[in-house]
Chain A
């Protein structure tokens, strides 16, 4: 089984702090990491390889420094790493990005399954997975929490819903996005880290992909950012102070006056 995992380098927003005076994001010293959800996709790919044999390739798109996430993937045990890099990819929205990734997946070729994290924590759109599936003309299974069976041209997964899950069967190849319930990602091995040190990614630009430049990056993006602004900070309200029983009684009164309870 050949599996391609799409991964993204993102700023580690867990470490982002907000400057209380200006409301601006302070990201100095914030490290760039593999999108956390993509780690679950990598882990699932490695587990499927362990169960069925085959190879796992990681594919990323991003500026030169994004190669670091491929090195992280290699350290975890991934076999190959592909990097779509060039200014022509920059500033792409989800449609342009998914088009580029689809060209990358096609160029790697001979695959059975494409895995992604459910969304990237910087954009939070969860759109690239299903858009990638559409570009590739493949079925899409989103928010998958378990792979029940796979092989012989079919896969059965549990796809999360608002109140449980659907057990869904699909033909292969297919594109799957995974949620964090699916597994617990491994840590890199020493051997993997050694391999990562000498790893060189296969890097492709638009020309190497045979991609239509008009569909890439900013130029190929139907959506444009009109403006970016700071949300109006919600101001703190009233502090209720006093003995615990007294504040509880006053809070109960406030809640009653809201009409949310009798």
Chain B
């Protein structure tokens, strides 16, 4: 059992911990802070206390002997038979981690036909590709995916397993982690090997991106993590690389699934998936009306980008939800993000602030969006955007 407690003799009663608690479980009682039963043992106050007067105590879980495990495995997702962008990004990161650990990089690929993507994965850095080929694997069926994964692993336990934080990955990897009885860290923005322990340090946003938390899975294997698209750069492909490819085609009824995809509805095929776009033109409440988003479409066409929105235009029904950027929408990391009439609430900033270049156009000079903007323009987006389109049109 774990508790967080205040060391009364060390506490100076400064009260800094009180507002830091996300569940309001700290009160000042007399000269010292007191932690109430509302505590969820998140540990934030431990890091906030300036005099180290708060400590987390726990009875160490019985150390499990770590089964012999080896290698870094990347689950490389296919969409319509082709590798998704985040799979390439994870191959580059996986290669880096495998080299740091002096071990092999294995890619897993599932689908109806995986020969070509398997060769591509070798070019992207895989020492070995384990492929699973079967019609049921063409679309996501969680039972079949977990069964295929366990069959390919055939008792081997990797040290590290990575997967894209896509709709598929976010359903498949948690299920696999629970089956393997190990930890999983969602949406990591940094993955590093700790020099001393060799453990994978997984950093991710916490509390809506207001804080970052570094997480480790010290006693169980594999150490599993998902990563959103565009967080890590993709690596170069080398068609001359050599690697082992093993594709299993004979499943003998072992890929039974209790779910069945009856139909695939494609809705935004003509437009770019904003999570994968290099240039994003986004509009907020300041765009004023649904029809004004046509301006942004025009700018996006000039720049070869996609149109997105903050929450307000989505709630107002001007823009479909699939294009919402922010805490309750998508996280994007384009090369260029142009925010038009977006004030920049925290919930929006967490979804886009890792863009390489941010341009903000807003009437209010105090708008928080300017605090993250590379280039800021105080003005009406409805006036500036047409001028910008014109200026871009001129050589």
Contacts and interface: CB of A to CB of B under 8 A. Distances in A.
A95 B261 contact: no
Nearest to B273: A162
B19 A28 contact: yes
A24 B48 contact: yes
A244 B267 contact: no
B128 to A, nearest CB: 26
A11 B139 CA distance: 37
Contacts of B83: none
B304 to A, nearest CB: 7
B312 interface: no
Given A142-B167, A163-B266, A168-B260, A223 B217 contact: yes
B215 interface: yes
Interface in A152-186: 156, 158-171, 174, 180-181
A260 interface: yes
Interface stretch (B106-114, B200-208, B234-242): B200-208
Contacts of B208: 13, 16, 121-122, 124
Nearest to B172: A130
Interface string A1-28: 0000000000101101110000011111
B335 interface: yes
Given A32-B23, A166-B264, A224-B216, A234 B387 contact: no
Contacts of B269: 163-164
A244 B378 CA distance: 9
Interface stretch (A70-78, A107-115, A132-140, A191-199): A132-140
B198 interface: no
B23 A63 contact: yes
Contacts of A147: none
The residue among B40, B47, B273 with the most chain A CB atoms within 10 A of its own CB is B40
Interface stretch (B117-125, B289-297, B365-373): B365-373
B142 interface: yes
Contacts of A123: 206
Interface in B40-91: 40-44, 47-48, 58-59, 61-62, 79
B49 to A, nearest CB: 12
Nearest to B372: A234
Contacts of B215: 223-226
Contact of A219 (B61, B79, B278, B384): B61
Interface residues of B, number: 112
Interface residues of A, number: 101
Contacts of B304: 260-261
B116 interface: no
Given A130-B178, A164-B264, A251-B359, A63 B37 contact: yes
Given A65-B38, A87-B1, A260 B263 contact: no
Contacts of B264: 161, 164-167
A165 B216 contact: no
A225 B216 CA distance: 6
A138 to B, nearest CB: 8
A143 B171 CA distance: 9
A50 interface: no
Nearest to B263: A167
The residue among A214, A228, A251 with the most chain B CB atoms within 10 A of its own CB is A228
A218 B40 CA distance: 10
B167 A143 contact: yes
6 contacts: A24-B19, A133-B175, A162-B275, A170-B260, A245-B391, A258-B336
Interface of A: 11, 13-14, 16-18, 24-28, 30, 32, 36, 62-65, 87-88, 90-91, 93-95, 98, 121-131, 133-135, 139-143, 156, 158-171, 174, 180-181, 214, 217-231, 233-241, 244-245, 247-249, 251-252, 254-256, 258, 260-261
